[in-house]
Structures are given as structure tokens and as C-alpha cells.
Structure 1
Amino acid sequence: MQEELLKMYGMLDASFKNELISFGMFETKNEEEQQQFTLEVGTPGGSLGSSTYETGMTASVYGALIDNKVTLAKEQPLYLAGWAGTTKDVIPTLRGENGQLPENLASYEKVLLLKVLWTDEK
């Protein structure tokens, strides 16, 4: 990982039940018709965080990195979704296994991953 582009913390109380945390990823074009990518996070209290990034890529792929129910473990990152882009002619599928870091990240020029990490309050 080179950098964290959007970081949110303290979103939940110590105990929660039947609450939804939403994550969104989508591509759009800016006023100059250049590709851009937006990450959004919604919390049970209704607050929303988002960041938009200029990508400069000509081809991209994105999607879920988990396809089954998984258990969040303390201090273990869980990768929920990802976006990967390239300016090359071919783009492979972004692969991950049940929330683990995708293995083929070197196949792309730019990658954005949506990660959840359960930590102690610092």
C-alpha cells in the first residue's frame, strides 16, 4: 500500500446490532471528460464520507472481494471491494479470496481497495 486516500474511524459504538454500514464505488467523468473514481462510506448515524480521484486510466475493473459471509477479526484487514485500472490493452480480473489482499495487484497501474480494520480506540 502506498497511501491511505480516505480514512474514517470511530464510526460505531462498542456494541451494535442490525445496523448497516454502506460502501459505494463508482466511476464518472469530470468536466473535462476525464475518468474519475469515487469512494463513499455511509454510517448508521447517517453521516457520509467520500473522496474522488482522477484516474487517467483507459480501462478498469471493479467489484467485490468477498462472496461469502466472513468474520471480522481484530487487527486483521478485510478487503471488501476494489477498483483497478490500466492504460494497456488487456485488463485481468481483480481477484481476491474472502476478503484477503488480491494477489494480482502488480497487473495494474493503479489500484484502490476498500478495507475495513477493527482496532482499539487510540
Structure 2
Amino acid sequence: MFIVLLTGCAGVEKEKPLSSAKMTIEPYNTSEKEKLLISKTGVDQIEFFKLDGNLQEDDDLQFAVEVYEKGKLKKELLTTSDEPNTKFEDSIISFGISNSNDEDSSLKLIAGIPFGVATTNYTNNMTSFSFNKLIGEKVTLEKNKPVYLVGWVGTTKNELRSVESENGELPVGIKEAENALIYRVLLTNNVKK
């Protein structure tokens, strides 16, 4: 009888249910004191988001800034992957820009990721721009489906069309944009090296 019971328990151990863990991201609203502190950093525009959930063993969380010129994806900047953390509880991520005081018209791009900060300079000749948050509420990350969090659109012309999205889809107006930077998060498979 004891052997039958042990065999039955061993079978139950093998049939663990699949994890229903999910990764979510939502806008983080800063307090007045936080806004005051941010204003002292020299960052011109910045948006914050809260990341929650657990990565599965074969998952990877990738962050990148996609660069679009005349509506076409040209390259990616600040690309990070192989996230060392697997559990995120109220993790804050962000994307911001600062205008350079240099004559080369460069922007400093700042990506706050769960395990640090990534920065780079991006040179452009845009004379005006808009900076928009692209999600308005909590979004669940789906594998291999990018979520776009922030869009910067620049132009050298007299008119500027901002890009918008509520649920993190690639903004429709991106096809008409002269120049655009879109901050993206992607849940994907972990590529073992």
C-alpha cells in the first residue's frame, strides 16, 4: 500500500501546472516632490513606467530605442537584453532626452532599465519636436510582441504631427514622421550564448 501511495505522489510531482506568471507594464505618475527632483537633473523630457512580473527560465526582456527616418526603421540604439533579474516588483524604468548645449544639435538619450541606466547621443538637425507617452494604462507583455512606451518625433518643417498610441502599439503616425525615436520593450526567448 505504501509503494502505491509513493508512486501516486511521484506522478503528481511530475504534473506541475504551467506557470501563469505574467509581465505587466504601466505608467508611473510622479509626485510633485519627484518632479521637483527630476527638474534639477537637467533632463528635458522623461517618462516613467512600473514593471511587474516574473521572467520564465527561457525568457528575455529586451529594451531598445528604434530610430525611424522618413517612416522607415533605420537602426536601434541603447539595445539591452539578457536581463540579470528574473523577478520584478514595482521596478521603475524610464526614457528621457536632454538637448545638448553643443553646436552639433545632438540629443542625449537616457534609458532607465531595471538594472541600471543606458545613455547615448543622437545627432539630428530637427528644429522642433514632440515627446509623447504611448501607453495610458497597464499593458500585459506578450511574447515577441513589442510594446512601445515613448515616442519622440522631430521635423525641420513648419508643421509637426505628434504620434500617439494608448496600448503600446507602433504609432500610426510614424509612417509620416521625418525623424522619430521610439522606446520599446520586448519579451522574447532567451538566446543562450
**TM-score, normalising length from structure 1?**
0.86
Amino acid at match of 1:4: E
Q: Please tell me whether the aligned partners of residues 94 and 113 of structure 2 are also in contact (alpha carbons under 8 angstroms).
A: no
Structure 1 runs (4+) greater than 3 angstroms displaced: none
2:56 alignment partner in structure 1: none
Question: Relative contact order (alpha carbons < 8 A, sep ≥ 6): 1 or 2 greater?
Answer: 2
**Correspondence 1:28 to 2:74:** no
1:3 alignment partner in structure 2: 75
- Deviation of 1:103 after TM superposition, in Å, equals 0.4
Q: Residues 90 and 50 of structure 1: is their aligned pair in 2 closer, same or farther, counting only changes over 3 Å?
A: same
1:66 alignment partner in structure 2: 135
Counting only pairs closer than 5 Å after superposition, residues 7-86 of structure 1 correspond to structure 2 as 7-20=79-92, 22-32=93-103, 34-45=104-115, 47-86=116-155
RMSD across aligned C-alpha pairs, in angstroms?
Answer: 1.7
Q: Please tell me whether the aligned partners of residues 11 and 43 of structure 1 are also in contact (alpha carbons under 8 angstroms).
A: no
- Deviation of 1:59 after TM superposition, in Å, equals 1.0
Calculate percent identity across the aligned residue pairs.
32
Amino acid at match of 1:96: S
Which stretches in structure 1 are left out of the alignment for 5+ residues?
none
Amino acid at match of 1:119: T
Q: How many residues align?
A: 119
Which stretches in structure 2 are left out of the alignment for 5+ residues?
1-72
The structure with the larger Rg is 2
**TM-score, normalising length from structure 2?**
0.56
Describe the SS at the equivalent of 1:73.
coil
In proportion to residue count, which structure has more strand? Answer: 2
